[in-house]
C-alpha cells in the first residue's frame, strides 16, 4: 500500500484560505452595507429642500429636490458624495454647486465650488451628475448650494 501524504501543500493552503476569506467577505450580511439608491424621474418624488441648505438638517436616506428658476434637480447625499439627476433645466444657463464652509452659505475662501453643467452643455435634462467629496481637504462643510448665474 502506498502511504499518501494527507497534508495540503502551502500553495493549496493559501488558495483555500484566500477563497474562503473572499466568500466570507461577500456573504449576505456584508452585502447589506451596499445601499441601493433610486433617483426617480418624477418632479415630486424628492423631499423639497431650501437652497442653500444646512447639511445637518437634511433627513437621512432620502432623495432631495431643489427647485430653482433655471433648473429642478434631485439628488442623494450619502454624507460625502452627491449623486443627482437634472429634471428640468434652462439649457442656456449653467448649473453650479458649492460646498459651503458656513451653514448660512455666506461666501468663504474655503468653499468648494464645482460646475455641474455649462450653458448649452451636458448634463442635460434627465441626465445624471455626481459630485465627489474633496477628500484631500482637511476641514468639513456645513452647507450646500446649487445656483445658476446669469
- Per-domain residue ranges for the chain? 47-147
pLDDT digits (tens, 9 = 90+) for 108-124: 999 999 999 998 888 88
Q: Which residues contact 72 (CB under 8 A, 6 or more apart)?
A: 43, 65, 66, 86, 87, 88, 89
pTM: 0.69
CATH number (1.10.3470, 2.60.40, 2.60.120, 2.30.30) of 47-147 reads 2.60.40
pLDDT band, residue 102 (cuts 50/70/90): very high
Question: Can you say whether the dihedral through the CA atoms of 72, 115, 123, 79 is positive or negative?
Answer: negative
Beta partners for residue 84, in sequence order: 75, 129
**Residue 125: per-residue pLDDT:** 87
Q: How far is residue 23's CA from residue 15's CA, in Å, rounded to a whole number?
A: 12
Amino acid at each position: 500500500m502506498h502511504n499518501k501524504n494527507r497534508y495540503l501543500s502551502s500553495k493549496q493552503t493559501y488558495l483555500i484560505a484566500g477563497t474562503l476569506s473572499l466568500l466570507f467577505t461577500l456573504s449576505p450580511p456584508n452585502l447589506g452595507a451596499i445601499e441601493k439608491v433610486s433617483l426617480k424621474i418624477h418632479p415630486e418624488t424628492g423631499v423639497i429642500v431650501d437652497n442653500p441648505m444646512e447639511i445637518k438638517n437634511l433627513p437621512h436616506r432620502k432623495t432631495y429636490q431643489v427647485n430653482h428658476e433655471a433648473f429642478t434637480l434631485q439628488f442623494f447625499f450619502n454624507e460625502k458624495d452627491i449623486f443627482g439627476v437634472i429634471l428640468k433645466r434652462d439649457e442656456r444657463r449653467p448649473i453650479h454647486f458649492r460646498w459651503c464652509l458656513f451653514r448660512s452659505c455666506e461666501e468663504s475662501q474655503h468653499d468648494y465650488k464645482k460646475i455641474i453643467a455649462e450653458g448649452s452643455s451636458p448634463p442635460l435634462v434627465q441626465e445624471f451628475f455626481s459630485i465627489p467629496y474633496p477628500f484631500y481637504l482637511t476641514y468639513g462643510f456645513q452647507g450646500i448650494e446649487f445656483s445658476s448665474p446669469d
